[in-house]
């Protein structure tokens, strides 16, 4: 017992950089040599993908890129799949974002979904840019988008953009997709009052916060974190960055659980032996 406790004490005093290196190794090894672990699809992700497949040619979809560049690793892969699938369906897309990073995310999306460059801007897609005001802005956009965005991100008046003539209020849209965060305003201001289907992706830590909305049917589908993005890539047959990172997520998460178990072993042993 004495010797085993010495090991725990040694582990307790271990330089934290050892843990950092363990994490680096656990992420790097599967990236260099993929394990190819199977990814099963959660029902909520399948519902999201199937909901997108129900969009018909010419339908207008609002895409809220409420995603800072730090959350690209979790949500950008899923957004690329959503956009590509919507374009396959023949949908017209209106992008905006409640995050100041939205212009950068827009550029990155163009790099990852290059077919966006082949579309006619103003007819097939529009980028409205950043907006402040959260719920108040979403509520006002439901009745008049042009009152919040007099012009698009590039300074073109909305009146001069053909697509926006048919996309100026909630009733003109077939669907709202949120990215990373900011789902509540669309549920409360568009989904409930105007019966617009709402769905999207959340960062991993938002999974628990979004589950009640999923259970109540306020959102028809949900992809959570990099796992959700990888599931979308798998469903669409477009394996990309999220799929590649899943092995690294597996090994790093396993390391995390092993460390928790190791840390708690002395406490468990002590309890079993009747200690305090």
Partner 1 sequence: MSFFRSTAFKYIPVIVFTVILADYFVNIAGIGTAASTLRQFAVVISNMALGLGVISLLRIHTRNVQRKQEGRWLYSVVALVTFFVVFALGIINTNGDQYQWAFNHVYTTLQQTMYASTGFFIVSSAYRAFRARNIDAALLLIAGCFLVLRNAPIGEVIWSGFPRIGGWLMDIGQVPGYRTLMFIAGFGAVAYAYRVVTNKEQGFFGGAE
Q: Using CB under 8 A as the criterion, which residues of the chain lie in contact with partner 1 when the complex forms?
A: 11-12, 14, 16, 19-20, 22-23, 35, 37-40, 42, 68-73, 101, 103-104, 107, 131-134, 136-137, 139-140, 143-144, 147-148, 193, 204, 207-209, 211-212, 214-215, 224-225, 227, 246-247, 249-257, 259-264, 267-268
The CA distance from 35 to 249, in Å, is: 11
Closer CB to partner 1, residue 95 or residue 131? 131
- Cβ–Cβ under 8 Å, residues 84 and 113: yes
Please report how close the Cβ of residue 192 comes to partner 1 at its closest, in angstroms. 10
Closer CB to partner 1, residue 7 or residue 260? 260
The CA distance from 274 to 80, in Å, is: 55
Residue 166: strand, helix, or coil:
coil
Please report how close the Cβ of residue 182 comes to partner 1 at its closest, in angstroms. 14
Please report how close the Cβ of residue 119 comes to partner 1 at its closest, in angstroms. 20
- Cβ–Cβ under 8 Å, residues 180 and 201: yes
Q: Containing H/E element for 114?
A: none
Q: Is the dihedral of CA 138, 144, 147, 153 positive or negative?
A: positive
Please report how close the Cβ of residue 246 comes to partner 1 at its closest, in angstroms. 6
Contacts of 125 (CB under 8 A, 6+ apart): 92, 93, 94, 95, 116, 119, 163
Closer CB to partner 1, residue 38 or residue 57? 38
Closer CB to partner 1, residue 55 or residue 213? 213
Please report how close the Cβ of residue 177 comes to partner 1 at its closest, in angstroms. 21
């Amino acid at each position: 017992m004495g010797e085993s406790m010495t090991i725990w004490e040694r582990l307790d005093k271990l330089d934290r950089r050892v843990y950092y290196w363990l994490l680096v190794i656990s992420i790097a090894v599967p990236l260099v040599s993929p394990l190819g672990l199977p990814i099963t699809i959660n029902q909520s992700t399948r519902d999201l993908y199937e909901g997108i497949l129900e969009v018909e040619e010419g339908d207008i979809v609002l895409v809220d890129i409420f995603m800072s560049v730090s959350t690209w690793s979790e949500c950008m892969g899923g957004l690329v799949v959503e956009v590509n699938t919507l374009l396959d369906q023949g949908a017209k897309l209106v992008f905006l974002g409640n995050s100041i990073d939205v212009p950068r995310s827009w550029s990155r999306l163009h790099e990852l979904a290059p077919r966006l460059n082949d579309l006619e801007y103003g007819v097939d897609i529009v980028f409205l840019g950043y907006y402040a005001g959260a719920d108040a802005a979403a509520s006002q956009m439901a009745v008049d988008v042009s009152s919040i965005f007099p012009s698009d991100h590039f300074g073109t008046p909305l009146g001069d953009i053909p697509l926006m003539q048919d996309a100026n209020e909630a009733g003109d849209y077939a669907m709202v997709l949120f990215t990373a965060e900011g789902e509540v305003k669309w549920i409360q201001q568009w989904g409930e009052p105007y019966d617009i289907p709402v769905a999207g992706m959340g960062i991993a830590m938002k999974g628990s916060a979004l589950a009640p909305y999923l259970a109540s049917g306020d959102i028809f589908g949900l992809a959570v974190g990099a796992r959700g993005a990888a599931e979308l890539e798998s469903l669409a047959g477009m394996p990309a960055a999220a799929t590649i990172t899943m092995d690294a997520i597996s090994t790093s998460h396993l390391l995390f659980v092993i460390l928790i178990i190791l840390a708690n072993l002395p406490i468990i042993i002590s309890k079993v032996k009747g200690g305090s």
